[in-house]
Structure formats: C-alpha cells, structure tokens
Amino acid sequence: MTICEKSAYLKGLMDGLQLSTETNEGKMIAAIVDLLGDITKRLKDVEETTIAISDELDEIEEDLDAIEDFIMDEEDEDEFYDEEDEDWDDEEECDCGCEEGFEFGDEDSTIYEVECPVCGEVINFDEETLEDGAIACPNCGENLEFSFEDDEDEE
C-alpha cells in the first residue's frame, strides 16, 4: 500500500467512523488526517519532480557520451592504427603536399630534444643532426648550434 493509499484509507476510516468534528478529539483527528493528505500531495509532487530530473540527467548523460564519441572520433582521424606494422602513425599532409613530422629511422637510435631559446619551441632530432652541429628552429628560423661530445672521452 502506497502512502497515497494509506492517507486515503485513513480519511475513509475517519468518515466511516462518523467521528464528530465538534469534540476536541474529533477536531484533532480531522486536522491530522488533513495534514497527512497535504503531506501526501507534496510528497507525490516531490517524487514526480525527482523522476523528471532523473530523466533529464539521463538525457544529458547520453548527450555528453555522444559529444565524447564525436571528439574521440576526430582525434582518431589524426592518429590511426596500422595493423600490419602495429605502429601508431601521426602524419598529416599539409597544403604543399609534403608530410609533416619527422621519421627517426630505426627504433634503436637516440632522440634528442632541445628548446629554442627564442620562441620556446621544443625540437626533436636524431644523432645525425647532432653530429651536423646545428639545426634551424622550424617555428622561428633561429639557428641552434650544439656540439656532440662523447661521454667516454670525458672519462
């Protein structure tokens, strides 16, 4: 039996008992039954509102999931998995037809990283570039010079 049904049952019971609302006890019981009826109506409104809010939250969650899937699909267009090589490729073609990015060759080669002091661009390069002694910043064109000293010579 729900709260609404119980409240209606008490009201019917009070009417069926034909309690006199002229006596103090009858007035008290009638006021309690009316109060229970009001509380029941409010509780029903709260339950309906809660259900509506829950439904709205479910719809928002579905929308957020769709947005997340859309964003993840856009990122997947930039990075794709090549099943034959089992490598991640992140190469895009620019307007001039050349490929952006840098192939570092075999996986055993050491990759160096330097930050351009002018623009702050982080530049990655391999040992061959290090042996050349200089590299131009692809962002600002600043010529960065460095020397390759073997750690074994220092010992």
- Would you state the pLDDT for residue 102? 47
**CA of 96: how far to CAs of 1, 9, 100, 127, in Å?**
76, 82, 10, 28
Residue percentage of the chain with pLDDT more than 90: 25
Residue 64 has pLDDT above 80, yes or no: yes
What pLDDT is stored for residue 31 in this prediction? 92
Q: Give domain limits for the chain.
A: 3-78, 106-149
What average pLDDT does the segment 11-32 reach? 88
Q: What is the mean pLDDT of residues 97-107?
A: 46
Q: What is the pLDDT of residue 136?
A: 87
DSSP count for the chain of H helices, then E strands: 4, 6
Token pair belonging to 28: 């008290």
Contact 31, 21 (CB under 8 A): no
What is the per-residue pLDDT across 75-97, written as a single tens digit (0 to 9) for each?
666 555 545 545 444 444 444 44
Report the Cα–Cα distance between both ends of the chain, in Å, rounded. 89
Q: How far apart are CA 92 and CA 104, in angstroms?
A: 16
Say what the pTM is: 0.39
